Copies of this chain bind each other. A is one copy, B any other.
Amino acid sequence: MSNCIIAQSGGPTAAINASLVGAVSALYKSGKFEHIYGSVHGITGVMNDNFLDLSASIKEDPDFLEKIKLTPAMYLGSCRFRLPTLEDDADIYNKSIYEKIFRNFKKLDITAFFYIGGNDSMDTVDKLSKYAANHNIDVKVIGIPKTIDNDLMEIDHTPGFGSAAKYIANTVREIAYDTYIYDVDSVTIVEIMGRDAGWLTASSVLARNSFSVAPHLVYLPEVAFNEEAFIRDVKEALPKYRNLIIAVSEGIRRADGTYISATDAKEDKFGHAQLSGAGKTLEHLVSNKLGVKVRSIEINVLQRCAGHLTSATDIDEAYGLGEHAAKLAIEGKTGLMASLTRTSNAPYTIEYTGVEVRKVANEAKSIPAEFISPNGHDVTAACIEYLEPLIKGENAVPFTDGIIDYPSIAHLTKH
Q: Among the listed stretches A19-27, A224-232, A321-329, A407-415, which one makes contact with chain B, having 4 or more residues with CB under 8 Å of it?
A: A407-415
Bound state CA distance, A178 and B160, in angstroms?
Answer: 14
Q: Do A302 and B175 touch across chains, with their CB atoms under 8 A apart?
A: yes
Residue A130, interface by CB 8 Å: no
Task: Name the B residues within 8 Å of A391 (CB-CB).
Answer: 401-403
Within 8 A of B (CB), among A179-210: 180-183, 206-207, 209-210
- Which of A52-60, A77-85, A121-129, A371-379 has 4 or more CB atoms under 8 Å from chain B? A77-85
CB <8 Å contact, A44 and B183: yes
**In the complex, per-residue mask of A61-87: 1 if CB is within 8 Å of any chain B CB, else 0:** 000000000011110011110000000
Say if the beta carbon of A174 comes within 8 Å of chain B. yes
User: Which of A91-99, A107-115, A133-141, A265-273 is found at the contact surface with chain B?
Assistant: A265-273
Within 8 A of B (CB), among A203-251: 206-207, 209-213, 240-243
Q: When the two chains form their complex, are residues B413 and A177 in contact, meaning their CB atoms are under 8 A apart?
A: no
Q: Which of A356-415 contact B (CB under 8 A)?
A: 388, 391-394, 399, 401-404, 406, 408-410, 412-415
- By the criterion CB–CB under 8 Å, are A178 and B242 in contact? no
Bound Cα distance A180, B300 (Å):
16
Residue A308, interface by CB 8 Å:
yes
A interface, size bucket: 35 or more
Interface pair B174/A305, CB less than 8 Å apart: yes
In the complex, the answer to whether A268 meets B241 with C-beta atoms within 8 Å is no
Report chain B residues within 8 Å CB of A298: 298, 300
Measured CB to CB, the closest approach of chain B to A185, in angstroms, equals 10
Taken together as a complex, chains A and B put the C-alpha atoms of A414 and B238 apart, in Å, by 10
For residue A102, give the distance in angstroms from its CB to the closest CB of chain B: 22
Q: Is the CB of A410 within 8 A of B300?
A: no
Residue contact B399 to A394, C-beta cutoff 8 Å: yes
Q: Which of A209, A240, A410: most chain B CB closer than 10 A?
A: A209
Q: Given A78-B181, A211-B409, A211-B415, output 11 extra A-B contacts at Cβ < 8 Å.
A: A12-B178, A12-B181, A72-B177, A73-B181, A79-B182, A173-B403, A174-B305, A175-B301, A177-B305, A212-B415, A272-B287
Can you list 17 A-B contacts (CB < 8 A)?
Answer: A12-B178, A12-B181, A41-B182, A44-B183, A72-B178, A166-B402, A169-B403, A174-B404, A178-B301, A178-B304, A206-B402, A212-B413, A264-B268, A266-B268, A268-B288, A272-B284, A393-B402
